[in-house]
Amino acid sequence: MVKLRLVSLLSCMILPLLSVSCSSDEDVQAHQGEGGSGGTSGAVHETTFFVTSDTSATADLGGLVGADARCQRLADAANLASHTFHAYLSAEQDPEDESKTVNARDRIGSGPWYNSKGMLLATDLDELHTIDGDAELFLDEQGNKINGQWQGSPTPNEHDVLTGSAADGTLLEGKTCSDWTSDAADVTAQVGHSDGLGPSMNSAPPYNSWNSVHENGSCGDTAPKGGAGRLYCFAID
């Protein structure tokens, strides 16, 4: 017994010189199971939010129904079919009840939402409408960043995302391209900046808003001013 204790003592005197710890079993157990970086506890989250990887030359999306179908089609192709996705769009008439208007915030569920790399976008609707656009968060369903004003971005700039909404997620009348059915050159839609940046990487308001910065060029051509007819898609379940 004395010899064993002596060996143990000598080990704990020599091993630190070799950068080997003599931690107790309790210490080892205390560290096992600790979460990963970023406060995610090592969890892998399903994608419940993305910016569309595809584009549209006009803002005629086939209405809200067509826009939702576009989100779902991309989600299915990316194997996100366990969720139902809706487009973040406001409209002046509800397709199911023309006496009612539609606010984008009311048709996307209650959160939380995670992007295609498992990063938390927002926990709920209130938080969602306080955050800024961010090229690292607002990714497409394949995990790619959207061309924008961020440093090193490819061209052309495509960070203008169609919403038809005010910053709080409510309808902006006259800024929905006739409820996403028009390709007229004299009608416009409200857009947000997916990267939260303006010219020269300016992050000051209103450039920082992901959902409501300015009117686009026209419903007939989504490219001028930095767009490509992209949408935000959220899982409602």
Least confident of 13-27, 90-104, 121-135: 13-27
Residue 60 lies in a domain: yes
Q: What is the CATH number of the domain that holds 104?
A: 3.10.100.10
86 by DSSP, 3-state: which? strand
Residue 41 lies in a domain: no
Residue 108 lies in a domain: yes
Check the CA dihedral 118-231-81-105 and report its sign: positive
Residue 137 lies in a domain: yes
Residue 39 lies in a domain: no
Domain, as residue range, for 224: 46-237
pTM of the model: 0.83
Dist. CA 218–CA 230, nearest whole Å: 14
Angle at 78 between CA 189 and CA 194, to 5 degrees: 35
- The answer to whether the beta carbons of residues 206 and 223 sit under 8 Å apart is no
Task: Give the pLDDT of residue 13.
Answer: 47
How many other CB atoms are found less than 10 A from the CB of residue 11?
A: 12
- pLDDT (tens digit, 9 = 90+) per residue, 187-204? 999 999 999 999 999 999
- pLDDT (tens digit, 9 = 90+) per residue, 1-56? 444 444 444 444 444 444 433 433 333 333 223 322 233 445 779 999 999 999 99
- 105: tokens are 């915030």
Residue 34 lies in a domain: no
Residue 125 lies in a domain: yes
Residue 28 lies in a domain: no
- Average pLDDT across the chain, whole number: 87
How many domains does the structure of the chain reveal?
1
